[in-house]
Each structure stands twice: as C-alpha cells, then as structure tokens.
Amino acid sequence: MLFEVPSLESLNLGVTLPAVSLAFGVCVLLLADLLLVPKDRKEITAWLAVAGVAVSFVLNLFTFNNTDNEAFLGMFVADSFTGFMNIVILLTAFLGILLSKDYLKRAGIERGEYYTLMLMSAAGMMFMASANDLVVVFIALELLSIPLYVLAAFRVPDVKSEESGMKYFILGAFSSAFFVYGAALVYGATGTTSLPAIFNAVGTLAESGGSSAFLLLAGAGLILVGLGFKVAVVPFHMWTPDVYEGAPTPVTAFMSVGAKAGGFAALLRIMAMSLPAFTLADGQTFAAWQQTFWIIAALTLILGNLVAIAQSNIKRMLAYSSIAHAGYILMAVAASGTIGLTDEATRAALIYLLAYMFTNLGAFGVALAVERDDGSGTNLNDFVGLAKNRPGLALMMAVFMLSLTGIPLTGGFIGKWFVFKATLDAGLVALAIIGVLTSVVSAFYYVRVIVNMYLRDGEAETPGETQMVNWAVYIAGAGTLIMGIFPFLVTGLSDLVTVAASVVR
Amino acid sequence: METYAQLVPLVVLIPLVGMLINVFWGARLGGRWPGIIGSTAAILAFIVSGLLYFYLIGNDYRAVVVNPPFLNAWISIPSGDMFIPWQMRVDTLSVTMMLVVTGVGSLIHIYAIGYMLGDSRYARFFAYLNLFLVFMLVLVTGNNFLMMFVGWEGVGLCSYLLIGFWFDKARGEGWKNSNAARKAMIVNRIGDFGLLMGIFLIFWTFGTLDYFTPGEIANPHLAEELALEAEHAAEAEAAAVEGEAAPEGEQAAEGEVVAEAAVIEGEAAPEGEQAVEGEGVAEAAVIEGEEGHGGEAAVVYTNNDHIPTEMLGVFGKTERLLEEGGHIVNFGPFSLPFETVLVLITLFMLVGATGKSAQIPLFIWLPDAMAGPTPVSALIHAATMVTAGVYMMVRSNVFYYNADLTSLIVTLVGAGTALVAGFIAIGQWDIKRVLAYSTISQLGFMVAAVGIGAYSAAMFHLVTHAFFKALLFLSSGSVIHGMEHGHHHVHEHGHGHHDDTPFDPQDMRNMGGLRRKMPVTYRVYLIGTLALAGIFPFAGFWSKDEILADSWLVGLFDNNVGGYIALGLLLLAAFFTAFYMWRQMEMVFYGQPRTEAAEHAQESGPVMTWPLVGLAILSVFGGFMNTPENVLGLDGIFGAHRFTYFLEHSVVHAHAAEFQPVIALGALALALFAFFAARTIYGAGHALVRGSRDPLAVRPETSPIWRLAHARLYWDETYFRLFENPFNRTAKFLADTLDWAFWHDYFHNTVLRNGFDALGQFLSKPVDLGLIDGIVNGIGRLARWLAGRLRGVQTGYVRTYAVTVLLGVVLVIVILLLPLFTQAGGG
C-alpha cells in the first residue's frame, strides 16, 4: 500500500558500479582465497585486492560527476562529492594494502581474509560517501565498522590486539545505537529518512518550531555522537589511543584515515547537505547545530594536541594527532553551517582529508618500518638515529611531520589553509584562532620526532623486509609534496564538487 | 452512571499508586502494611471495575472509548502516517476481564497477606503483584494492539520477577528458581516475537492498530437485530394492550410480556432479557424509520455504514473489506490477497498465544514457573496472565472467524495441548506441578474453543477456570504451608530421627490424611476438584460442557472436521483431568499420614482460608451465569446464556450453543468413571510412600503410560537436544573465554586496578603541584603538564569511556537545545 514495486531500470544501477564492483571484488577475493590460492602463497591475495581497488578506481573516474546520479530510488547517490571521496577511500585502501603485505608476513598473521575484511570496510566507506538516506548511512556505517572490529583484533593471540578489537567493538556498538536513535528522532521530526526530503522538510519545520524542532535538534545531536565516535572527536575519542595502539599497525593506519573519511562523508552529507537551512529564527545566517560543532571542534583541537605531547609511543602519538586532525576537519564542517558557505567549507574538508590521507598513511608507514616483528619498537626513542641508518625513510618522515604540522610546501599546509579560510569566511574567528594556536602547539610533538631522527646520536634498527612499505611511503610522500607544491591539481578537482546545488531539488 | 465509564483510567492508576507506595515506603511501614496496601489497591480496582459493569448494564452495553487526559497522542509521527493514541476501551469483553483480574486478584492479594508473612521481601512482593495488575489491566483495557503489547510485555516482566522471587533460597533452590524465571522469559520471547510480527502485519495491512474507533459499533448485526426486535416488540405491545398508550418509561419493565406477545405473532422468539436490552436502541431506530413515533434522543446509529472505511478500526475494516471482496495487500515486491494476509496475521498471533498461554510447542515454561510463590502461581500462572492469549484471540475473533486454516490449526494446537498436558499431569508427584499441567490442559480447552469458533464458550471457561484454578492453587499453597508447619513442628520438638534428606513440602508422597488436619482446605479443595473435573452442577461442568457441545455442533452442522477432532481429544483430556485430580485427592487428603510432617500439619489462618471460601463459592455457583436453555428449569432461575448475550456486544462472532444432553451425560459419566479408577488405583491400601513406586508403574500393563507421563513425554529433553545443547556450547565458549578470561581476569584484575591507581594519581597530583609552578615554568611546561593529566583520564577501562560518551551526549544535547529554551522563554 505504501510502496510501488520498482522496476530494474528505475534502480539505475549503473551509477553504483564503483562501490558495487568493490563489494563484488571482495566476494571474488574471498572465494579465490578459499579455493585457488595455495596456503604458502597468501601474498597473491594482496595483489588480487590491489586489482579490485584498481577496477573500482577506474570505474569511479568514469562515473565521477554523473548527471543522472541517483540509484535505488534516490537512496544512493553518486555525485562529484562521492567521486572525490571515493578517490580518497580507494587510495587509502591501496596504500593500506601495500603497508600490510610485509607486516603480515613478519607478524605471522598472513591470512587471506585480511584483505577481504579491509576491502569490505572500504566498500562500506564508499557506500557511506554515496548514502542519500539515513538508513543507508546506517548500513554503510556498520559495513564499515564491523570488518574494522575484526581487523583490530587480527593479531590474535596477542592480548593487546584482542583488547583493542573488543574495546572498539563494544564502544562502537554503543555509538551506533546513538546514531540509530538520532536517525529515528530525525525521522520522527520530518517523517522521512531521505536526506533531500529532510532538507525540504526542514524549511517548514524551522518556522513552526515546537516539538518537531526539538526532535530534529536532538536527532542531529545524536547523529553527531554516532558519527563523531567514528571520526574520533572529543568527547567521543576515548577509544582511539587504546585501539590504535593495540591494533596491528597497518590496520591502525587504514582505520585512522578510512574510518575518518567515511564518517566525515556521512557527517557532511547529513549536516551540510540536509540540515544547513535549519535555523531557529528568521534571518539567522547559521544553522542551529553550528554552535555545537564549534564547541566540539574546539575541544577536540585543544585536547588532541595537548595530550599528544605527553605520549611516548609513536602509535599513541599518531592516535592523538588523528584526533586533533579530526578537529580541523570538524572546523570545516562547522563552517558549512553558515548559509551560503556550504560548498566552500565542504571543499576545504575534502582537500584536508586528501592531504591528511597521504601524510598520515606515510607516517604510519615509517612507523611500521621501525616496528619489530613482535610489535615492540614503537617508542619515540626507537627513532633515534634513523637518519643515519635509513636516510630515505627519515627524510620522508620529516616531510610527513612537517605536513602534519602544516608547514608550507606540504599538503598539510594546503589543507589547513582552506579550512582556516572557510572558518574565517563563516565568521567563526575564535575557532580559527584556536586552530592556529593548537597548530603551533602541535609543532612541539611533531618536531620532536625530527629531532630524534636527526639530532640525537644512536643506532636505529629497521628490522625485516620493508620493500612494499617503502613503496607506500614514497608514494605517500610524493602525494604530500605534490599537493603542497602544485595545489591547483587538487583544487581543480575539488572545485567540481558542488554539494549544495546537487542535493537541493 | 453515564460518567462511570470515565473512571477506567483509575483501574490502572490505583494499583500503580499501590505499587509506588510499597516501593517507597513499604519496607519502612513493616508488618502486614504492605500486604494491606496492595490488597486495598486491588479491591479498589475491583470496585471501579464493578462500576464500569453497572455502567454497561445501564447504557445498553454501549462500548465507550476513553482518552485519558494525558498520553492522548501516545505514539504519533505528525508527518508520517502513524497515529496511535492511548485509548482505553470499556466494553463487555474488557469489563469481563477486568472483573476477573481484579476480583480473583483481590482474593489472592488478601490470601498473600497471610501466605507471604515473614518473607524478607514482603513489601517488594506486593509491589510486584500490584505492578502485575497494572500491566494486566493495560493489556485488557487497551483499545489497540500496541497497548495490548505493552501490557503483554509488562506482565511477562512481572511473571519473570515473581517466578524468580526466591532466587536466593538455600541448597541450590535459588538457582532452580532463577533458572525457571529465565526459562519463562526466554520461551515467551519466541511467542512475543510472533505477536510482534502479527502486529506489524496488522499495521501494514490496515494502517491502524485500533480495535474499534470511537463511535464505531462493535457488533452491528446484533445492534440491528435488537433494534428490529425492539420495534416489533413495541408494535406487539401496542396490539396487545390495545390503545392504552404505555408511558415510555414502563416499556422496559414489561419486557417479558412483550416477548410473549412477539412469540404469538410468530416472530423469532426474543428472550425477555434481550428485549429489554434492545430497547434503547429501538427508540433511535424508530426515529430513523418512522417519524413521529415518539422519542427525543439524538440519532443513534445501529450500524457502521456511515463511517468511511479508512476511519474504521481493524475489525470493522476487516468485515468491510471481506464484504467488498477482492482486496489485495501490497508488500512492495509482492502482494497477497487479503484473505491470505488474514491467515498470516492470525498465525503470527497464534505464535504469541502459544507462548503466553502455554500451548504446544511453547508450554514448557509453565510447569517450571511454579517455582514462584503460590499466590503468584494462582494469580499469574493460572487465573489471569496465561489467559491473555485466549483473550487476545477472542478479541480478534473477527480475524479468526474469517481465517479457516488458522482456526483449524488453533483447534489442533488447543485440543492437542489439552490432551498432552492432561496426560503428563497423571505422572507427577509435585502437588503444584500437577496443577500446572492441569492449567496448561485447561488453557488448551479454551484455545480449542477459539479454534472451533466458540468464542463465548472460551471466555466462559476462562472465567470459571480462573475461579476454580485459583482456588486449587491457593488451597495447595495452604497444604504446603501446613506441611511446612508440620515439618518445623517435628524439628522443634525433636521427636523422631533426624534425617538429612531435604524435605519437600510439595511432594504428594509425603502427604496423606490431611483431610482431618486441614478440614477447611480439604473441603474447598474437593469443591475445586469437582469443578475442574466438570461434575454437575459446579462451574466447570457448564463451561466445559459448552465447549464440548459446541465442538459437536460445529462438527455435525458445519461439516467442520476440527469439531470432531476437538470433541474426541477434549473428551479424552477430560477423562485425564478427572483422573489426576482424584489421584491428587487420594494422595493428599485421604488415607493415613505418611510422614510426621503430615501428621503434624495444621490448618492455615483465617486470612488465608477466607479467600478460599470466597473462591469456593464462586466455583460452585460461577457456572450459573451462563446456563443453557432447558436444563432442569435452571434457565428459569438464572436466565439462559446470559454471559454469551453479554459478550455478544463486543465479540461479533460469539454465539450460544444448545445444550447437548448426550454429550453432557457422557462427559459426566466419563469423569465419574475416572474418579472411580483413581479411587481404585490410589485408594486405601495402595498408599504411596517416598521411595516406593507409583501404583501405575507397578502394574505391567500401565507402566509404559506411567513412564511416558512421568518423563513428561520427553518434551523438555527433545528441546534440549535440538536447541539448547548447541546453544549452550556456544554460550560456554563465550562465557569461559570472553567473559571469564577476558572480562574478569583481564579487566577486573589488570585494568580496574590500574584505573584506580591512575585515578588516585590524578586526584592527588594537582594538589601536590601548585599552580604557580606551572606558570613559572612557562607555557611549554604547562601544556606538557596538562597533557599528562589528560592522559591520566585515559584509564583503559571501557566503562569509563562509555560514561564519557554518555556525558558527551548530554553535553551535545544540552548545547543544541539551549537556544530553543531561551527562545521559548524570551518569546
């Protein structure tokens, strides 16, 4: 009575190809691992996984910026925003695979389902970037998360790894519940779960006020909680250091970028695209949720950067650093709440994500090269003397650290530039000042790594074979530097992204 | 009287208040006060129910839907299509249930004052009992399926709490009790899932969950019929009295005369009662039809034709759609004919009923539920909660009436359960366990009655069963009490040897000869036995006979094979019923005391025996509320089929069954023969002591029967093999590895301790380190110091993290909603 039976054509499956092909690739990989790949040659699965990512990447380029871009009756959308996001996600997956290959062998956990899980999660992230309906967002959120829970505990019977997976799972389930509750409240307020329809419904709600506005605000808040957990913003960040430290390092690298990309994709879709017009009074120029994001972003920046100083473990330090960077991206999300600034702020967030992707994966790559087979060697002091021993790696690490700080000629600077600009344009001056100040603070702990590598005497050892890791590090370094030196390459791409117009009507 | 109906929220609120008082002040009041408060609440609720009954009597049984002042838009999504109000329905069916629940409930409350005295959680017990009343009354008063579901889950919760009430009993008893509670909870989840699916399906199909919308007439056929009859009656009267214009007010009083006149005219004979009932309606009908025939009331509709289909409740809608025919329900990718959907809905609801009302295949929880205190067994697991499934199906009689396939399945389930449980009951030694299986068996009678379409017979049996089964349970409680008393007596006075074997006061092998020790209990138990076995003229005779007669009629006249099946199985079940009841009488009350405890058993106090007497009276006379026609002139005294005619106003497809002398006499003879058999086997000279074998087991020809019955047909074992064992293995892994090794060993020993250390540091260091230190040492040091402190919060303890998330949620919500409040305050 409520639905009509959809025809196959109306589903418009073509635009879903990039994400669906990756999911399909996961199935192929799973079967191949089970039936074809011999036990002692599990590295083949890595190359199969790379092939799956490559196919999806090419398909994504083809469907990037489609005109007829809605599938599954509007529940799935593949616009330029999706296209850009997919590039970030697929590069993450690609670098993640490269980082994993040697590590798995060294740690003795070379099992075929590793890449299956990783790509499954990547497929979830892609669905997240394409979700145009709260229900799909939720499904994608779970598809993204559940493989990550498993991956975090992949280094069984290592107790730390098991703890990490368990913690991530329990708290992740907790936060998912908040997301669902929020989605239910939004549905209660607007009567729909479709994001464009929510956008249209919001205009009338704002005028009427009353209980619906109440529901919508509470719903938006709970959605922020659910997704904020995934992207690790304060105060939903507590799991991050423990999980990052315990999980196998390549998994940490993958999830520190991938889960963030997925989470911010959904956050931007829901907040910047569905609810930007949600103001509480006539003539207000910013969305009702902006202030909350402002506060959360400020808290995240301050706490993430301050606590990172006190860390002595590189993985924990990078964990807090990733919290801090979530804060910078959240600045852009907050800025998108100012009316008329949605596009600019969204582009800033995307550029920041791309730069962060290269830089962070690279930094984890170097950390991986220094880590020993048994999982030790992740202390900051283990970097002492790396410049003498492995000058190439040390140079790259220096680049990454500078990029994370936001020094010019690196991708990190470009990202920060756009984010701060968007924040200032949005009129959030205080937030921009906090951002700049915390960047200065962050220099303290990033530079300490460089000091350890170059200025302190010692012998750093880089155990084991790290060939693939080297490749990944150099690719990431190249990406970081190219973004920093030729920013127009990326901004040209991001300028295609016009979210505000693509969703309205 | 018009406004009585508005009192219906009180029926729920009063027990709620009683519960709150007991929760907050019960323990402080001490003594018997919690029991007195709980009982008072139950009695007040009963009085309100009585007022509602009088309202119905005085207003032509017109149903009323009451919107309590709060909760009007209970669940509503303004822009969606969902609107489910919290409405309470006062009609003949719900008032019947209310009277049973609060009436029997009051007596059981009073009984419990004495029974539970001295328990360490006395106040809590009465709080639970009152909470149960609250939910049960929500269940029966709701005007939509969602309220029913709320009540349904609520009574399930109370059942769980009360079965496991003695979770801390010594010697592993506590484990058994809490296991029984868990079993009940889990088995009921399966049924609840079915009910929930049914409710979803109903909402999808009808777009509403209301039984009837306000103003809708539940039974338009009846209303029209009555209007017509009353009109004829008025005409006949005019003819009979010849020109003497009777004042309107007197019409009612002359109903019987009128009826006779109608008979003379060759009309279908209306009973005197009915003529009176239909009178008010008739006036309105007259206005509609012929003008100027007297009368002044506003238009009263006698059918629902003026209500558009989308405004009807689910049942009205069903009738309308079936009348129109050819409707199809669309489920997105596929669609089904409306009739098929009805079958699906009813099947799902049946799953719910098999859980709550303990039918095959989900009945296994009820025998174990006897672990709860005896008043709980009587109230929840015999008289009220377990009949919720029957109530639900009778309430949905429109669905079931129109779903032939389901009705057949319901018949088979009900009659099969009646037989299986009745059979198992003959092989039990525990006095309460026999009654538990008996309850399952009797619920099977009711369900089978629903299956063959005898809705009023099902309700009738529900009511009488509530009387005599509550009576039997409470009496058994009295017996147990007496036995425990005797046991203590033996111990205190130290005569006899001291044996270490635990004494079971519920084991019938320990009893015998209690007739002389506990005369009141013996008499009421005998009455309960006779009523349950269906001996004329006790309550059970009438209600059981109506079911049997109806199944015979259904088989004979409607060619419904289900009727014959039901008749056969139920007769056999009735035989077992009489057999195990008399077996119980022999083992408990007759013969010689077999233990010293039985020797020294004592009659219970008056606060326990008076409710028994009350219930015994009901068990004797309760059947007369629905005597059939032409039986020994009883209908002249009590009126014929009164209960059925009463129910008819809300149960569309209720009908009265003609009395079948052959069936009645046959069933009676069968019961008496079973008594005789039980007397022969268990009577004097066959005394059964603990350790010896049951007489049934001794004889080679009956020993297989005994083995099967005693092993409960291996039902639980089969379930164990099929479901529980594989599940347990998985659970064991989770428990040993995850919970024990990971959670206890790791978290509690490692993480918790470290967490406390870190917390301690966090609390002490800021005090040690002066603030000045930090400022002097510069901003870098300050940052570093802050970082170290913040790091201290990172305890590694998942609970801490979860609480942090929760605090964050509160923070986010508060910040988000703050402008809204200031706006509201300012503007």
Interface list for B 774-803 with A (CB within 8 A): 780, 783-784, 786-788, 790-791, 793-794, 796, 798, 800-802
B798 → chain A, closest CA residue? A167
- pLDDT tens per residue, range A257-316: 999 999 999 999 888 777 776 766 666 777 888 888 999 999 999 988 988 888 888 988
- Mark which of B663, B686, B710 sits at the end of a domain: B710
Contact residues for B328 (Cβ-Cβ < 8 A; gap 6+) = B335, B336, B337, B338
Inform me whether the pLDDT recorded for B260 exceeds 50.
no
Residue A3, SS3? Answer: coil
Tell me if A99 is assigned to some domain: no
pLDDT for position B530: 95
How does pLDDT run across B450-482, given as a tens digit for each residue? 999 999 999 999 999 999 999 999 999 999 989
Does the structure show a pLDDT above 60 at A215? Answer: yes
Is residue B703, in this structure, part of any structural domain at all?
yes
Q: What percentage of residues in chain B have a pLDDT greater than 70?
A: 83
Centroid of chain to Cα B394: 13
Judged on CB neighbours under 10 Å (0-12, 13-18, 19+), B72 is exposed
pLDDT at B301 over 50: yes
The answer to whether position B647 is within a domain reads yes
**Partner-chain contact B812 A224, CB within 8 Å:** yes
What residues have CB less than 8 Å from B614, skipping those under 6 apart?
A: B107
Judge whether A97 lies within some domain.
Answer: no
Residues A257 and A476: their CA atoms lie apart, in Å, by: 13
Cβ–Cβ under 8 Å, residues A205 and A236: no
Residue of A216, A242, A307, A442 to mutate when probing chain B, most B C-beta within 10 A: A307
- Of B293 and B810, the one with more pLDDT: B810
CB–CB contact B783 A441 (8 Å):
yes
Distance in angstroms (rounded) separating the CA atoms of residues B665 and B422:
21
Q: Tell me the HSE value of A5 on the side-chain side, using a 13 A CA sphere.
A: 7
What SS3 class is residue B501?
A: coil
Residues 6+ apart with CB under 8 A from A484: A403, A408, A409, A410, A411, A412, A413, A414
Tell me the per-residue pLDDT of B793-809, one tens digit each, with 9 for 90 and over: 666 777 778 888 888 88
Judge whether residue B264 has pLDDT over 60.
no
Asked, for residue B613, whether it belongs to a domain, the answer is: yes
Burial of B727 (0-12, 13-18, 19+ CB in 10 A): exposed
Beta-carbon separation of A159 and B333 below 8 A: no
- CA B84 to chain CA mean position, Å: 24
Inter-chain touch B809–A178, beta carbons under 8 Å: yes
- B411-446 residue pLDDT tens: 999 999 999 999 999 988 899 999 999 999 999 999
**Which DSSP category does B166 fall into?**
G
> Is some CB atom of chain A closer than 8 A to the CB atom of B80?
yes
Q: Where are the alpha helices (DSSP H) in B242-378?
A: 255-264, 272-289, 314-324, 338-356, 365-368, 374-378
Structural domain including B670 reads 403-493+504-710
Which chain B residue lies closest to A235 (C-alpha atoms)? B808
Alpha helices per DSSP H over A232-275:
239-246, 249-267
| Same domain assignment for residues B667 and B803 | no
Q: What is the pLDDT, as a whole number, of residue B102? A: 95
Residues of A in contact with B80 (CB under 8 A): 187, 191
Angle CA B532–B533–B534, to nearest 5: 90
Q: Which of A174, A188, A289 sits opposite B77 (nearest CB)?
A: A188
pLDDT at B268: 41
With a pLDDT cut of 90, the percent of chain B lying above it is 43
Of B80, B801, B813, the CB nearest to A239: B801
State residue A129's pLDDT score. Answer: 92
- In tens, the pLDDT along B90-140 reads 999 999 999 999 999 999 999 999 999 888 899 999 999 999 999 999 999
B620 has a pLDDT exceeding 60: yes
Task: Indicate yes or no: CB of B783 within 8 angstroms of CB of A306.
Answer: yes
Q: Considering CB atoms only, which of A214, A234, A309 is closest to B820? A: A214
Contact A153/A162 with Cβ under 8 angstroms?
Answer: yes
Task: Tabulate helix, strand, coil % of chain A (nearest 5).
Answer: 75, 0, 20
**Would you call B204 and A1 a contact, using CB atoms and an 8 Å cutoff?**
yes
- A vs B, Cβ pairs < 8 A, gives 127
B815 contact residues in A (CB cutoff 8 A)? 291-292, 295
Report long-range pairs for B815-821 (Cβ below 8 Å, ≥24 apart): B815/A291, B815/A292, B815/A295, B816/A217, B816/A218, B816/A220, B816/A221, B816/A288, B816/A289, B816/A292, B817/A214, B817/A217, B817/A218, B817/A221, B819/A280, B819/A288, B819/A291, B820/A209, B820/A213, B820/A214, B820/A217, B820/A280
User: What's the total number of domains in chain B?
Assistant: 3
Both B583 and B676 in a single domain?
Answer: yes
Q: Do B626 and B542 contact (CB within 8 A), yes or no?
A: yes
This prediction's pTM: 0.62
> What are the DSSP calls for B427-463, one per residue?
T--BHHHHHHHHHHHHHHHHHHHHHTT-HHHHHHHHH
Same domain, residue pair B375 and B421: no
Of residues B359 and A444, the one with the higher pLDDT is B359
A447 in a structural domain: yes
| 3-class SS of residue A338 | strand
CA distance B393 to B450: 7
Closest by Cα among A76, A149, A154 to A111: A154
Distance from C-alpha of B385 to C-alpha of B359, rounded to nearest angstrom: 13
Q: Which residue from A minimizes the CA distance to B786?
A: A306
Cross-chain residue pair B780–A292, CB shorter than 8 Å: no
Predicted confidence (pLDDT) at residue B750 exceeds the cutoff of 80 = no
Hey, is the C-beta of B358 within 8 angstroms of any chain A C-beta? Answer: no
| Mean pLDDT score, B276-297 | 42
B386-396 tens-digit pLDDT: 999 999 999 99
The pair of structure tokens assigned to B566 is 């039901």
Does residue A343 form part of some domain?
A: yes
Residue A212 belongs to some domain of the structure: no
Contact B645, B273 (CB under 8 A): yes
B76: chain A residues, CB-CB within 8 Å: none
pLDDT at B256: 45
Instruction: Give residue A458's domain range.
Output: 289-498
pLDDT of residue A290: 87
Name the residue in chain B with its Cα closest to that of A172: B802
Span A216-234, pLDDT tens digits = 888 889 999 999 999 999 8
Read off the amino acid at residue B460.
F
- A183 lies in a domain? no
Kindly state whether residues B546 and B629 are assigned to the same domain.
Answer: yes
The confidence score (pLDDT) of residue B294 equals: 43
- Residue B251 falls within a domain, yes or no? no
B458 part of a folded domain: yes
What is the model's pLDDT at position A4?
63
Concatenated DSSP letters for A16-74?
Answer: GHHHHHHHHHHHHHHHHHHHTS-GGGTHHHHHHHHHHHHHHHHHHHHHTT-SS-EETTT
Q: Do B816 and A292 touch (CB under 8 A)?
A: yes
CA distance B774 to chain A (A): 15
Q: What span, in angstroms and rounded, lies between the C-alpha atoms of B148 and B157?
A: 14
Chain A residue with Cα closest to B742:
A163
Q: Hey, is B76 helix, strand or coil?
A: strand
Minimal Cβ distance to B79: which of A201, A213, A242? A201
pLDDT tens-place string over residues B637-689:
788 888 998 998 889 888 888 888 899 999 999 999 999 999 988 886 666 66
Question: Of B690, B710, B730, which closes a domain?
Answer: B710
Kindly state whether residue B393 falls inside one of the protein's structural domains.
no
Which residues in B lie closer than 8 A to residue A170 (C-beta atoms)? 798, 802
* Residues B372 and B488 reside in one and the same domain: no
Q: Which residue in the block uniquely carries the two structure tokens 């800021």?
A: B766
Residue B804 has its nearest CB partner, among A159, A201, A235, at A235
- How many distinct structural domains can be found in chain A? 1
**Same domain for B370 and B410?**
no
The answer to whether position A261 is within a domain reads: no
Could you tell me if A278 and A205 are in contact, meaning their C-beta atoms sit under 8 angstroms apart?
A: yes
Q: Using CA coordinates, name the residue in chain B closest to A243.
A: B796
Residue A235 to residue B811, Cβ atoms within 8 A: yes
Is the Cβ of B805 closer than 8 Å to some Cβ of chain A?
A: yes
- Residue B247 pLDDT > 60, yes or no? no
What is the least distance, in Å, from the CA of A259 to any CA of chain B? Answer: 18
Distance CA B294, CA B515 (A): 66
Query: Cα(first)–Cα(last) distance of chain A, in Å?
Result: 26
As a whole number of Å, the end-to-end CA separation of chain B is 46
B696 plus B801 within the same structural domain: no
C-beta separation of A358 from A240 below 8 A: no
In terms of Cβ atoms closer than 10 Å to its own Cβ (0-12, 13-18, 19+), residue A436 is middle
By CB neighbour count within 10 A (0-12 exposed, 13-18 middle, 19+ buried), where does B378 fall?
Answer: buried
Question: Which residue among B79, B783, B796 places its CB closest to the CB of A309?
Answer: B783
- Is B79–A190 a contact, with Cβ atoms under 8 angstroms apart? yes
Same domain flag for B695 and B806: no
Alpha helices (runs of H) in A281-428, residue ranges in sequence order: 290-309, 314-335, 342-370, 386-389, 391-405, 411-425
**Measured between alpha carbons, how far is A22 from A53 in angstroms, rounded to an integer?**
7
Q: And the tokens for A196? A: 């464009």
- Asked if A218's CB is within 8 angstroms of B820's CB, the reply is no
Long-range Cβ contacts of B694-703 (<8 Å, 24+ apart): B694/B427, B696/B426, B696/B427
- CA–CA separation, B625 and B640 (whole Å): 8
Q: How far is A285 from chain B (nearest CA, A)?
A: 15
Q: How far apart are CA B653 and CA A87, in angstroms?
A: 66
Q: Which of these three, B710, B727, B758, is where a domain ends? A: B710
Same domain assignment for residues B2 and B109: yes
Q: Are B507 and B466 in contact (CB under 8 A)?
A: no
Count CA within 13 A, CB hemisphere, residue A176. Answer: 17
Judge whether A452 lies within some domain: yes
Helix (H) or strand (E) holding A76: strand A76-77
Least confident segment among A376-380, A426-430, B681-685? B681-685
Residues 6+ apart with CB under 8 A from B806: none
How many angstroms separate the CA of residue B826 from the nearest CA in chain A?
A: 12
